Amino acid sequence: MIGPDAGTVAQFRLELMDLARRYKRYPRIAQENGWEGRVELHIAIGEDGAISSITVKKGAGRAVLDDEAQAMIRTAKSKATIPPALRGKAFVIEFPVEFFLKEEK
């Protein structure tokens, strides 16, 4: 079995990142407490095109930020279209989400 084309996966990842930015919400409790950080997610997409798992590869140090990063990806993925070249194939995307207060003003 031939795996998915790396270029197509990279293109889909960029589309997902672009969509995800629209759904990013900086949790109020994190803003009020000045919590910042970077969440690194490992997202597995199954052959059916759905998310089979999202794991926090490296957390931001605050569960509320880790949870928001995952929620943002789930929402964005529900709006994204799997390209024809990736349909029926399982693949993995590594995805960073940054929460920094200077960006939110």
The percentage of residues in the chain with a pLDDT greater than 70, rounded to a whole number, is: 95
Displacement of CA 39 from its chain's centroid (Å): 9
User: What local confidence, expressed as pLDDT, does residue 2 receive?
Assistant: 62
pLDDT in tens, 44-53: 999 999 999 9
Determine the topology of domain 6-104 in CATH.
TolA/TonB C-terminal domain (3.30.2420)
Domain segments of the chain: what residues? 6-104
Q: Is 40 exposed, middle or buried (0-12, 13-18, 19+ CB in 10 A)?
A: middle
* pTM of the entire predicted model: 0.88
Q: 8-50, pLDDT tens digit by residue?
A: 999 999 999 999 999 999 999 999 999 999 999 999 999 999 9
